[in-house]
Amino acid sequence: MFSKICNEVFAQSIQDYHVTDHIDAGINNPHPPTSIEHLLYKKNWIDTVQWHLEDIIREPSINPDEALKIKRRIDASNQERTDMVEFIDSYFLDQFKDVEVLDSATINTESPAWAIDRLSILALKIYHMAEQANRAGADEAHRENCAAKLSVLQEQQNDLSTAIDQLLNNMESGMVYMKVYKQMKMYNDPNLNPVLYGKGNG
């Protein structure tokens, strides 16, 4: 099952990041560059770094200049994350390019890679909620509350994994077809963001 590969790679990436637990730690992707595992590992590494950037920027006493730097870094990370999702969808487009699509085929509400994106974030939530459920020094009520949340997250992971595998199976059989739409984010584009192209500033 493809979801099993995803969950294993995501867990490995998260574990590897937390060896140093630093946003500037260099990625050391252990998978062959041409493999889907390589893309999945890189995708989750981006998500993991951004998770911690989001933590840092919420520090109440953070210096405003530092906060702006972190915000710009988060913006760049979001763009990189979107690019990686589109790379992964390109893999699936190539994988299923010769499938004969049935006349009765339907289109899914999201592409496989955007579902996998959610699976990557769930892996991060599970890792960090497990940390809280076992946090030394936290009171019992906190640990029990986090353990209950962890159980829900694990159920979500199982359900989403099943849904992804079903989607891929249906695509392979021609029952579902996919399209990939570029996200066309406007705020990063100097030709589309009025603040960047100077609308009203002249």
Amino acid at 124: L
Q: Is residue 144 within 8 Å of 158, Cβ to Cβ?
A: no
What letters, b where the CB count within 10 A reaches 16 and e where it falls short, cover 163-177?
ebeebbebbeeeebe
Report strand pairing: 106-107 vs 176-177. parallel
Q: Would you state the structure tokens that stand for residue 11, as one six-digit string?
A: 């867990």
In this prediction, residue 46 carries a pLDDT of 98
Judge whether residue 30 has pLDDT over 50.
yes
For 165-192, what is the HEC assignment? Answer: HHHHHHHHCCCEECCCCCCCCCCCCCCC
In this prediction, residue 26 carries a pLDDT of 94
In this prediction, residue 202 carries a pLDDT of 44
36: which residues sit within 8 A by CB, 6+ positions away? Answer: 5, 88, 91
In this prediction, residue 163 carries a pLDDT of 97
Q: pLDDT tens digit string along 83-103?
A: 999 999 999 999 999 999 999
Q: pLDDT tens digit string along 120-159?
A: 999 999 999 999 999 999 999 999 999 999 999 999 999 9
| Confidence bin at 180 (pLDDT 50/70/90) | confident
In this prediction, residue 89 carries a pLDDT of 95
In this prediction, residue 112 carries a pLDDT of 97
CA 22, CA 135: separation in Å to the nearest integer? 19
